[in-house]
Structure 1
Amino acid sequence: MTGAITAEGWGGEPVPPRFNLAAHALMAARVTPEKTAFIVAHDAADPAADEIWSYSDLDLAVRRTASALTGLGLGRGDRVMLRLGNSSHCAVGFLAAAAIGAVPIPVSSQLTAAEIDFMAGDADVRLVICDPGLEVGPATRSRPMILASELAERARLAVPAPFADTAADDPGYLVYTSGTTRSPKGVLHAHRALWGRRPAYADWLGLGATDIVLHAGSLNWTYTLGVGLLDPLACGATGAIHAGHHDPAVWPKLIDRLGATIFAAVPSVYRQILKYCEMSSDSLPSLRHGVAAGETLRADLVEAWYTATGRWIYEAFGMSEISTYISMPPAGRPRPGTPGRPQRGRAVALLPPEDGVRPVAFGEAGVLAVHRSDPSLMIGYWNRPDENSFRGDWFVTGDLAVMDSDGYIHPCGRLDDVVKVMGYRVSPVEIEAALEAHPAVAEAAVVAVEARPGVSILRAFVVPAAGAMLDADSLSAFARTRLAAYKTPKDYMLVDALPRTANGKLQRARLRQLSP
């Protein structure tokens, strides 16, 4: 085997042909029924407000809710929208729908009524489980709806249902990507997706049955749904989320109070903790390490966190369609400038950006691709039969990267973010990394904007470090020492913050709309 490729097919343990993700997630209920499975903290300062679910409690609630859903006429393949906050209702509802072979759709509590209407119509949902404080539009209201509290009451009186005998390839859940310039699209996963997450347990999370994983995100996001709920359950460990206000000071308090051994968040959360909290190695006695995904983890943040706490942060790279498949194993100092290597068992290749299935050479930029045999790969895009992201047996992610001779991946941005300036192909990620090396720069983002018809220039949006003095001339001079002339931004804007989604991802489309 030559070039930037790890294998020609899935090398992990084969997926059982009959597989239900809810049943798999709750296996520990048969082995350690009284062990704590899931914690919902409502107040960082008040342990009495915590919801503490044992494996037997959670298993019973899921199977009773599954029975209640069946009583409402739900069955295999029916789409169930979870219009819920970050709560146990969301966790139980997701698992219960999957338990009967229905297809849960967790959606963000921050979406507008119009966005919810689009998703409900696109997925043709058969039931909406909702919280009373979350708005829905007229199109959604025309569909069957039930309050989460009413469903819980029905479940309390129901006979526990058995788990459906689903095939591993049967539809398991549906998530919508956060669209920017177009409508969001549904990503349909099979039940086998949970089995496909197994390589990450050793090669990123370092997850075992004795761990308590605290996740700073919300369950509607696949990062939180997986790392904060499904992965701990599948390993017989304990997952924890916070349902209250996400002030930075909350997280150190909860890590200490819950005895969390692994903390999961986007990098910006770690940065906020360092900025607003007094941290030391004595602050987090239970924590073994942190993990990060969702946006690029800068090397200076990793070092600052280690200096302040004595713990490392380990990064992972992925997408809604495949989950995390590249990561840094939790062993010693992370390698700077890379999120890690493809997890063991995964078949990952870097293909030519334009076309072809022959991997590029080590050190050459290509588009990341995952073999279709990977069980964590989506079934496909919902209601988009003409959207084909495959080249032969390879799912093409659209992420550009370089694989070095040691197998480490160095991302170069999205293929659709790469722009042509002065006839050159330019990656914004490379330019951002150069600007962020400036000691007075906290964050930077670069986009191409049309200066006049047919002429594009690079514009950099820069967040100054706290208390720093910056101006466009000094930034331009600094960039010219590190970048070729055609890669140097022609325009600079100083901003207080970069626009991000609720999950912390940079919104380049919004940056393009800003005027100097």
Structure 2
Amino acid sequence: MSQSAPKQARGFTGELPPRHFNMARYCLARSAVEHPNKIALVVVSDADAPLEGAERWTYAALDDAVRRIAAGLFAEGFRPGERLMIRMPNTSDYALLFFGAIAAGLVPLPSSSQLTEAEAEFLLKDSRASAVAVASGMAVAPGAARIIDERMVERLKSHAPMSDYADTEADDPAFLVYTSGTSGRPKGVLHAQRSAWGRRPMYRGWYGMSADDIVLHAGAFNWTYTLGVGLTDPWANGATTVLYNGPKDVQVWPKLLGRTRATLFAAVPTLYRQILKYCDLSAYDLSALRHGLTAGEALSPALLDLWRKTTGKYLYEALGMSECSTYISTGPDMEIRPGSPGRPQPGRSVAALPLEGGTEPLPAGETGLLAVHRSDPGLMLGYWQRPEEESEVYRGDWFIGGDLASFDEDGYLRYHGRADDVMNAMGYRVSPAEVEAALSDHPDVAEVAVTEMRVRDDVSVIAAFIVPKDASEPDAASILAHAERKLAAYKRPREVIFVDGLPHTANGKVMRRALSAGNPQR
């Protein structure tokens, strides 16, 4: 039986969190009591070294260390509500500080260890963080905030643990993340303690996760995709998470999948594509892997099909945003429809709203602004110190993130790109994602990005930047003919430009603006 289209939904219908709720307690406390000796975290620094020598943490040890750090933060003079920026590589200390701060009622700000000094200084000033945790050798502007170095982290862990987690409420602040836009100032997204509860629809609607799973995530902790899928959700389910923090080499991932017996692997489509291109997967034992998870950029039908044919495993896609994490997905209990990231997860209220205003969801088949009902417990508290921007993203009871989408009669979403990426072709509004989807199944296309390109001061055309498949002899005429068969005339690209690679953000999203500025990777 088909699921009713999301136009019928008028609010979150899943179970709501209890009033008193602490995200760190939710993830760790129960398993620490029920399965104290179960391995919760494995940290691998060398993919070729014996796994017996890898760093391992039981649930009891994690729970104890997190509560020790919480007590240590209080002893050092920190107070609930203060921001604590974390600027470290993917280590167990990063995870312990993140959850330790939440356990104490502080608000951690996960950030990248690769930030420049100027970028880090902006986050410190904008967030008004009281302190920044840094690894050895990382530069921080002098006097910007109190420094938590490696010695202080050890001191925090040496304190007697708090007897319990902070008695926070579900709507209290939990953590702050900054959006990774391709232009303009980053803005802080403040999430509530309830955000971890708000991820529960993903357990069945995307992962099919249980306590028996071993989860390997290829991302960095400054991304909510990694913090959520790599730590929060496995721990909330009593599963085991594997963290790799050694040298980055695409060969590492199939090796780790085989050696750790990981059952779930999470990455961006670009990494799956690289694994298929550069790794001989027949040389690795992937028998334990149940399926792969992918988010961060669109999963092309060609990549979905090639991964399935090569590995015998499925890829389940999700669509999300910093303000609500993932809320549309496919999962093991539903049909995969190539080109669609899936349906709204169970309990969520998601709709496409009219572009020009109004709160009445559009019927199936019509493209509008993708919206999530504000009753969703996974939705942010708000933008940090940006009330004027916050008011712009709500329309009645709906949060609008700026994505264009339509739903079919069964509730499957078709993504049509960002509203601010929409191209103007011959007076028509054209979504680059729609054109990309039409070109992606051409036999010579490995990856494609479409953008509006100015050819004269007063003339712009749609241009397709294409990474050709290996061993193919790309032919622009063939691709244009393919577009003619699948797209209305005003949607077809007028230029086809072959490139060696596409520019991506650190989180794997294609930077269309860099393409339109003439900066593809060649």
- Measured against the shorter chain, the TM-score band is over 0.9
Distance change >3 Å, CA 6–CA 195, structure 1 → 2: farther
Matched, 1:364 2:366: yes
Distance 1:461 1:337 in 2: 19
Q: 1:192 aligns with which of 194, 202, 209?
A: 194
Once the two structures are overlaid, the 10-residue window that deviates more, 151-160 or 371-380, is 151-160
**CA positional deviation for 1:478:** 3.2
Once the two structures are overlaid, the 10-residue window that deviates more, 164-173 or 466-475, is 466-475
Distance 2:307 2:285 in 1: 12
Partner of 2:447: 443
Partner of 2:45: 42
Partner of 1:508: 512
Which residues of 2 match residues 93-112 of structure 1 at below 5 A? 93-112=97-116
Distance 2:268 2:505 in 1: 12
Which residues of 2 match residues 183-222 of structure 1 at below 5 A? 183-222=185-224
Matched, 1:260 2:262: yes
Partner of 2:357: 355
Instruction: Indicate conservation of the 8 Å contact 1:315/1:327, yes or no.
Output: yes
Which residues of 2 match residues 126-205 of structure 1 at below 5 A? 126-138=130-142, 141-147=143-149, 149-161=150-162, 162-205=164-207
Q: 1:345 aligns with which of 334, 344, 347?
A: 347
Matched, 1:456 2:482: no
Any idea what the Cα deviations from partners look like across 1:406-458, whole Å, max 9, x if unmatched?
Answer: 11111111111112111001010111122222211111111113333343221
Partner of 1:117: 121
> Could you tell me which amino acid in structure 2 is paired with residue 269 of structure 1?
L
**CA positional deviation for 1:117:** 0.9
Instruction: Indicate conservation of the 8 Å contact 1:281/1:309, yes or no.
Output: no
**CA positional deviation for 1:316:** 0.7
**CA positional deviation for 1:6:** 4.6
Partner of 2:10: 8
Distance 1:85 1:6 in 2: 44
Matched, 1:61 2:65: yes
**CA positional deviation for 1:248:** 1.6
Distance change >3 Å, CA 311–CA 165, structure 1 → 2: same
Once the two structures are overlaid, the 10-residue window that deviates more, 452-461 or 368-377, is 452-461
> Could you tell me which amino acid in structure 1 is paired with residue 373 of structure 2?
H
**CA positional deviation for 1:282:** 7.2
Any idea what the Cα deviations from partners look like across 1:138-175, whole Å, max 9, x if unmatched?
Answer: 5xx4311121x213321242110231100100010000
Distance change >3 Å, CA 469–CA 347, structure 1 → 2: same
Partner of 2:78: 74
Instruction: Indicate conservation of the 8 Å contact 2:84/2:101, yes or no.
Output: yes
**CA positional deviation for 1:471:** 4.4
Provide structure 2 residue ranges, at least 5 long, that are not aligned to the other structure.
none
**CA positional deviation for 1:280:** 4.1
Q: TM-score, normalised by structure 1?
A: 0.96
Distance 2:336 2:280 in 1: 24
Distance change >3 Å, CA 128–CA 515, structure 1 → 2: closer
Q: 1:287 aligns with which of 262, 267, 289?
A: 289
Once the two structures are overlaid, the 10-residue window that deviates more, 490-499 or 470-479, is 470-479
Matched, 1:414 2:415: no
Distance change >3 Å, CA 257–CA 120, structure 1 → 2: same
Instruction: Indicate conservation of the 8 Å contact 2:301/2:441, yes or no.
Output: no
Distance 1:515 1:239 in 2: 38
Q: TM-score, normalised by structure 2?
A: 0.95
Q: 2:274 aligns with which of 272, 277, 294?
A: 272
Distance 2:4 2:233 in 1: 34
Provide structure 1 residue ranges, at least 5 long, that are not aligned to the other structure.
none
Distance change >3 Å, CA 364–CA 81, structure 1 → 2: same
Report the count of equivalent residues. Answer: 513
Once the two structures are overlaid, the 10-residue window that deviates more, 250-259 or 506-515, is 506-515
**CA positional deviation for 1:113:** 1.4
Any idea what the Cα deviations from partners look like across 1:349-408, whole Å, max 9, x if unmatched?
Answer: 111122110111111111111111100000111110101200000001211111111111
What SS does the aligned partner of 2:80 have? coil
Partner of 1:33: 36
Instruction: Indicate conservation of the 8 Å contact 2:316/2:330, yes or no.
Output: yes
Instruction: Indicate conservation of the 8 Å contact 1:68/1:151, yes or no.
Output: no
Once the two structures are overlaid, the 10-residue window that deviates more, 270-279 or 386-395, is 270-279
Any idea what the Cα deviations from partners look like across 1:471-515, whole Å, max 9, x if unmatched?
Answer: 444433332232222112222322111001122111122112216
**CA positional deviation for 1:332:** 6.8
Which residues of 2 match residues 305-454 of structure 1 at below 5 A? 305-331=307-333, 334-387=336-389, 388=391, 389-454=393-458
**CA positional deviation for 1:82:** 0.3
What SS does the aligned partner of 1:23 have? helix
Counting aligned pairs with the same residue, the percent is 52
Instruction: Indicate conservation of the 8 Å contact 2:6/2:344, yes or no.
Output: no
Distance 1:21 1:168 in 2: 8
> Could you tell me which amino acid in structure 2 is paired with residue 41 of structure 1?
V
Distance 2:293 2:325 in 1: 14
Distance 1:428 1:160 in 2: 53
What SS does the aligned partner of 1:75 have? coil
What SS does the aligned partner of 1:5 have? helix
What SS does the aligned partner of 1:451 have? strand
Instruction: Indicate conservation of the 8 Å contact 2:302/2:441, yes or no.
Output: no
Distance change >3 Å, CA 515–CA 295, structure 1 → 2: closer
**CA positional deviation for 1:333:** 5.7
**CA positional deviation for 1:232:** 0.5
Instruction: Indicate conservation of the 8 Å contact 2:5/2:410, yes or no.
Output: no
What SS does the aligned partner of 2:168 have? coil
Any idea what the Cα deviations from partners look like across 1:63-103, whole Å, max 9, x if unmatched?
Answer: 11111211222111100000010111110010011011110
What SS does the aligned partner of 1:34 have? coil
Once the two structures are overlaid, the 10-residue window that deviates more, 271-280 or 62-71, is 271-280
Partner of 1:469: 473
Partner of 2:500: 496
**CA positional deviation for 1:331:** 3.3
